Structure 1
């Protein structure tokens, strides 16, 4: 498992195994968000399997499957609301962690500079520089 923190309250990762949820709990996370659609993975890793494992160790689990076609500011706001409402850090996963990083970036764009967002994602190994115009357009003045 490859946990990459974007900020104190949010980290991303490539696909996890159901057995990883104990380590996620021990790392201090309180919620897992699955951003990967089940159609991309074998049944052994479907969201319901990971959800059962997560709930078994006391973690919250939310499924917000994202594809390039379904990625939207509305889903970014939904994901941000989950992060903001959580008393403990949130852990999100997809195939590589990129979609989880993109949705976080979109959710932060209203009140965080594009520079700060892109520095955080870059430090975690995700080059989202091509998103700068979108992030700038979402920034409230």
Structure 2
């Protein structure tokens, strides 16, 4: 598991296993935010399994599942809401970390420039340049 920091409140990684939650807690994270729908891939742990392991590790948990090509305004509002209520810092994940990064950028759009969001994501290893128009449209 490679944790990639997006800002002081959120970091992301690819899919985790329940056994990774102790390391997430030891790294100083206080909550887990899952953006991966259950059943997306064979053998993937369910949100309930991750939630149970998060609780055992002393972490809060929220599940805001999204499909990358179908992120709605409601999905963005749900993500913002989760970030507002979860204790910080938050560790987010999906299959590769890209969806969590996309959701973070869309939730920040309008308060930060598209250039800043795209650059920050790139520093973490995620290419959001294809989202420029949507990020600019929220400004």
Q: Which residue of 1 aligns with 2:129?
A: 129
Distance 1:44 1:7 in 2: 27
Please give the secondary structure, in 1, of the residue aligned with 2:118.
Answer: helix
Whether the aligned pair in 1 keeps the contact of 2:15 and 2:95 (CA below 8 Å) is: yes
Q: Which residue of 2 aligns with 1:95?
A: 95
Q: Over aligned residue pairs, what C-alpha RMSD do you find?
A: 1.4
Distance 2:79 2:40 in 1: 20
Q: Which residue of 1 aligns with 2:76?
A: 76
Provide, for residues 47-94 of structure 1, a one-character-per-residue CA deviation record: whole Å limited to 9, x for no partner: 111110100111111111111354122212221232233442111111
Which 10-residue stretch deviates more, 95-104 or 77-86?
77-86
Whether the aligned pair in 2 keeps the contact of 1:28 and 1:88 (CA below 8 Å) is: no
Query: Under a length normalisation based on structure 2, what TM-score does the superposition of the two structures give?
Result: 0.93
Query: Under a length normalisation based on structure 1, what TM-score does the superposition of the two structures give?
Result: 0.91
Distance 2:8 2:37 in 1: 26
Q: By how many angstroms is 1:122 displaced?
A: 0.4
Please give the secondary structure, in 1, of the residue aligned with 2:6.
Answer: strand
Unaligned 5+ runs, structure 1: none
Which 10-residue stretch deviates more, 78-87 or 53-62?
78-87
Q: By how many angstroms is 1:39 displaced?
A: 1.4
Which 10-residue stretch deviates more, 111-120 or 36-45?
36-45
Unaligned 5+ runs, structure 2: none
Q: Which residue of 1 aligns with 2:10?
A: 10
Distance 2:44 2:125 in 1: 27
